[in-house]
Every structure is written in structure tokens, then in C-alpha cells.
Amino acid sequence: MRDATVASTGTLLPWVSQKASSRYAWLGWDIMGNLLFSFCESNETRRYTDLNPISEETLTAIMEAVTKAVKKAIGDEMSENFGLVLDGWTHGTEHYLAFYACYETSAGLQLPLLSLAPVMDEPGD
């Protein structure tokens, strides 16, 4: 695969397939743009992109697979001795709480974000 041509893979990196590159681009566009998952199925979206079409189901399945891989990577890297860091803050009238793991590796201190959510005051919030 390393010797594959740009024409055969459809990307400038010969070891990355066109399918993987397209899926990565859809993930980045949707997540960084804070868009609805159905954004990828919109006729307007598809009209103005050269990315391969993708369904909402495929996009969410990819997100779940990435989440599972990240959880495994953090779990494999984390030592038996670790700490939890809680961080809370307010933006306007919204209160948020974040949980971080805290552990050391040979690369130094690691603080991966484990959870981030608004604080709910009422059952209907």
C-alpha cells in the first residue's frame, strides 16, 4: 500500500485510502462545525462537496468506533494509580462539569478528558 499511486488511492498520502480520507473529512466537518448528524445527508451539503456521500447511520457508527478506540487507548495507557480532576465553570447561566483522568507516562503528565456535561438543576433541564 505504501507504493500505491495517487491515482489508485485517490489521496495525496499513498497509504491512506480514499474511503478513510473521506470518512475522516466528514467526521472533522461534522464535529468541528458542531453540526447535526443528518448534515451529511442534506442535498445542499452534497451539492457543495466533493466528498464521497455518507449516511447518518454510517457517520454515527464511525463516531462510536472512534470513541471505543479512544477509550481503549486511554485505558491501555493509564496506570493502576491515577487520579480524577473535576473542573466546573459557568458560561452565562449554564453550569458545566468536566472529569479528567490524571496519570503519568514516560512522556509526562497526561490529563485526558473523560466527560463534559452541563449541570442539570431540574429533572426537565
Clarify whether residues 70 and 92 are in a common domain: no
Instruction: For 40-59, write each residue's pLDDT tens digit.
Output: 999 999 999 999 999 999 99
Which one has a higher pLDDT value, 115 or 11? 115
Higher pLDDT, 95 or 4: 95
124 within some domain: no
The domain in which residue 92 lies consists of: 83-118
Q: What share of the chain is helix, strand, coil (3-state, %, to 5)?
A: 40, 25, 35
pLDDT band at 3 (very low <50, low <70, confident <90, very high): low
69 and 89 part of one domain: no
Max intra-chain CA distance, the chain: 58
Whether residue 108 has pLDDT greater than 80: yes
Task: Decide: residue 48, CB within 10 A, 0-12 exposed, 13-18 middle, 19+ buried.
Answer: exposed
3-class SS of residue 27: helix
> Are 68 and 11 contained in the same domain?
yes
Instruction: Estimate the crossing angle of helix 18-32 against helix 56-77, to 10 degrees.
Output: 90
pTM exceeds 0.85, yes or no? no
Do both 32 and 72 map to the same domain? yes
Domain count, the chain: 2
Contacts of 97 (CB under 8 A, 6+ apart): 86, 87, 88, 116, 117, 118, 119
Taking 60 as the threshold, does the pLDDT of residue 60 lie above it? yes
Q: Is residue 8 over pLDDT 80?
A: no
Assess whether 71 and 44 both reside in one domain. Answer: yes
- The answer to whether the CB of 56 falls within 8 A of the CB of 63 is no
Contacts for 14 with CB less than 8 Å, ≥ 6 apart: 1, 2, 3, 4, 5, 6
Q: Is residue 113 included in any domain, yes or no? A: yes
